[in-house]
Structure 1
């Protein structure tokens, strides 16, 4: 049975979620046992919201250090492939922008 609050899988006979302690519907209570509840407009777990992904990318254009730090954090601490991919995007973009800034400044 999946928790309707956090989506954690619990044993079928559980009365409360083992993760968030939310009360679970009993199988005889008419709940849909075994199916997670998905809120409309909610991002799936393990993904990076598009607003964050593109916001960091735009901030990296002006301050490459932001992309460098966020890229390293998401590569090292990313629990999912989507988070690691976002980290790679930010890291590579920040390096490319730093090289571009060095070229146009005449220091490289």
Structure 2
């Protein structure tokens, strides 16, 4: 079974919602993300699109970093956000663009 990526946010709530964190670690990252029918890169693209569409900026930030690690380019992420504006709504895409800029552009300053 694969190990879930480290997460200070999950660690913070583990004592409060232990089962939720365990399911996240064991099922979402240990099983779902390890299925072979889709690459992790494709799963990242799908996840970013879903988080944009459902307006989940808190989750989007960490999945943008994961997407880059899984081989998705910044250009592809900006294209997903732009594409989703027409399917998920302009406000959702504009909010996602702000999160992506903070994570991918401002987060890279000094590196």
Question: Fold conserved (TM > 0.5)?
Answer: no
Give me the TM-score of the superposition, normalised by structure 2. Answer: 0.30
Give me the TM-score of the superposition, normalised by structure 1. Answer: 0.30
Instruction: Pick the structure with more helix per residue.
Output: 2
